[in-house]
Chains A and B, each alone.
Chain A
Amino acid sequence: MIRVVLPAALRTLAGTGREVQVEVEGEATQRSILDAIERQYPQLRGTLRDPATMARRPMLRFFACEEDYTDAPPDDPLPAPVAAGTEPFLIVTAIAGG
């Protein structure tokens, strides 16, 4: 299982805690994780990616193992600790406020 940390506004929308676990199809990639989140939590469809273009929402970023994977190709494999579930995949929002 892949561990995913959701931003606060999406936790309330999905009715979850800070971290969720999802099962991906195939390799653990940015795309396969987002697909798995949307499958498991359909109420989040459209909030992470534009439903028409499937482009990442521009004010979201993706971190893992202290690296920024936001602009990495969506089908590139993520680090082994993410795939193994020992490290989470973090979905982080741009800072709001001052």
Chain B
Amino acid sequence: MGSVRVLVGTRKGGFILTSNEKREKWDVTGPLFTGWEIYHLKGSPADPDRLYASQSRGWFGQVLQRSDDGGATWNVMNNEFKYAGDVHTHKWYDNSDHPYEFARVWHLEPSAKNPDQVYAGVEDAALFVTDDGGQSWEELDGLRHHPSAVGWAPGAGGLCLHTILLDPTDGGRIVTAISSAGVFKSDDSGKTWRPANKGLVSNFMPDPDAEVGHCVHHVAMHPSRPDTLFMQKHWDVMRSDDGAETWQEVSGDLPSDFGFVIDVHTHEPETIYVVPIKSDQDHYVPDGKLRVYRSRTGGNEWEALTNGLPQENCYVNVLRDAMAVDRLDDCGIYFGTTGGQVYVSPDAGDTWRPIVHDLPSVLSVEVQTLS
């Protein structure tokens, strides 16, 4: 009998939602770290009781929390994320030069094998790693010292490194994504990096297919096929079948190809999910209808999943880290909205039900599948 633990980060604290494999009845714990923005909560695949949380607030900066007992108790870890070497500038919204300034951790990616090793993607864009469970953090500064970094510019949410994909078959490959710089890839455990944006087209740039500058919103990967990557870009849903070397558009018949989240079914690596958003100006779902779109063909052909989701007067957004899939036999799909709802589908998207209705605005959703 399996169970699931859903980790929810919101604008005003964290929440832990637990259920058995039926995913019908839920226990809700929280708010954790009340009043603070919880950009991300994530568990270690190697030790499910080891959780990490990124807690921040404009008044007080970044706090990194760690739990060793599945979220029952937490301890503050080292909060110092110090840029290594030369702290140069990046471009500001008006194209002026602006110094790199650490603001917060957007995404935590624990290693698959070592519960003490965690990668942290931060704003202003950089990648850090800890090998001692968060007691110290070191920047993998080859990324921020890439020659293109002086030209990176922030998206509306800031210059954030929000996606970290660790290749399960090759410990040396790391794929990251930065808004709005694009995808960067390392084949040597983060020492050296190169842009990986060939095939992306972004019309907000003077050169729409430039090597760097794309506003990539999220990238997802199925662990059995690490060379296949799926991307939700500012506009366009894309896929790569050669480990991010080249990208092809697979937006197909979506009602809008703007959005933030994208994820892959646990047992079907060609089944993917997105939540289309009306536009870059109107960050809410089209037509007042909350619809998840599923493609069983790896893109291009999409079906709307609506059973159990509001189909009128709904104007929420689903942010980039706010969708997750569990590993139960009947793959569960989860997402959270800026309206404070967290939905679950226990049948791969065919039907949906809310776990909670009225949380603060949801920033992130992750799920742990427990035996």
Known A51-B82, A52-B80, A52-B102: A46·B34 in contact at CB below 8 Å: no
Residues of B within 8 A of A42 (CB): 76
The reply to whether A57 and B60 contact each other, CB–CB distance below 8 Å, is: yes
| Interface flag for B204 (CB, 8 Å) | no
Q: Is the interface of B mostly helix, strand, loop or mixed?
A: loop
A94/B76 contact (C-beta < 8 A), A9-B36, A12-B34, A52-B82 known = no
Beta-carbon nearest neighbor of B79 in chain A: A46
Is the beta-carbon distance between A94 and B59 smaller than 8 angstroms? yes
Could you tell me if B58 and A46 are in contact, using CB atoms closer than 8 angstroms? no
Which parts of A33-57 form the interface with B (CB within 8 Å)?
42-43, 45-48, 50-52, 57
Q: Which residues of B contact A12 (CB under 8 A)?
A: 33-35
Which residues of chain A are within 8 angstroms of B61 by Cβ–Cβ distance? 46-47, 50, 57
Shortest distance in angstroms between B173's beta carbon and chain A's nearest beta carbon?
Answer: 30
Query: Contact at A51–B59, with CB atoms within 8 Å?
Result: no
Name the CB-closest residue of A to B35: A9
Question: What total of chain B residues lie within 8 Å of the partner, measured CB to CB?
Answer: 18
Q: Does B36 lie within 8 Å of A46, measured CB to CB?
A: no
> Is residue B228 contacting chain A, with contact meaning CB distance below 8 A?
no
When distances are taken between beta carbons in the complex, the residues of chain B under 8 Å from A13 are 33, 63, 76
C-alpha gap A50/B58 in the complex (Å): 12
* Pair B59/A57 contact, Cβ less than 8 Å: yes
Let me know if A59 and B59 touch, CB within 8 A: yes
Which chain B residue lies CB-closest to A48?
B60
Contact of B63 among A47, A52, A57, A96 (CB under 8 A): A47
Q: Produce 1/0 per residue, B56-96, CB < 8 A to A.
A: 01111111000000000001100110110000000000000
> Which range contains the number of A residues in contact with the other chain?
20 to 34
Residues of B within 8 A of A50 (CB): 61
Q: Which residues of B contact A51 (CB under 8 A)?
A: 79-80, 82
Residue of B nearest to A60 (CB): B59
Cβ B79 vs Cβ A9 within 8 A: no
Cα(A13)–Cα(B34), bound, Å = 10
**B83 CB contacts on chain A under 8 angstroms:** 52
Given A9-B35, A12-B34, A52-B102: A47 and B60 interface contact (C-beta under 8 Å) = yes
B34 pairs with A59, CB closer than 8 A: no
Taken together as a complex, chains A and B put the C-alpha atoms of A88 and B104 apart, in Å, by 31
Q: How far is the CA of A7 from the CA of B36 in the complex (A)?
A: 13
The answer to whether B79 and A10 have CB atoms under 8 Å apart is: no
Q: Is A30 an interface residue (CB 8 A)?
A: no
With known contacts A45-B79, A51-B82, A59–B58 Cβ distance under 8 A? yes
Which residues 1-34 in A have Cβ within 8 Å of B in the complex?
Answer: 7-10, 12-13
Q: Mark interface residues in B31-48 (1 if CB within 8 Å of A CB, else 0).
A: 001111000000000000
Q: Chain A: which residue is nearest B77 at the CB level? A: A43
**A93 CA / B59 CA spacing, docked (Å):** 7
The interface of chain A, by Cβ under 8 A from chain B, is 7-10, 12-13, 42-43, 45-48, 50-52, 57, 59-60, 93-94, 96
Chain B: residues with CB nearer than 8 A to chain A?
Answer: 33-36, 57-63, 75-76, 79-80, 82-83, 102
25 A-B contact pairs sorted by A residue (CB < 8 Å): A7-B59, A9-B35, A9-B36, A9-B59, A9-B60, A10-B60, A12-B34, A12-B35, A42-B76, A43-B63, A45-B79, A46-B61, A46-B63, A47-B61, A47-B79, A48-B60, A50-B61, A51-B79, A51-B80, A51-B82, A52-B80, A52-B82, A57-B59, A57-B61, A59-B58
The 9 closest A-B pairs by CB, nearest first: A43-B76, A46-B79, A47-B60, A51-B80, A59-B59, A93-B59, A52-B82, A46-B61, A9-B35
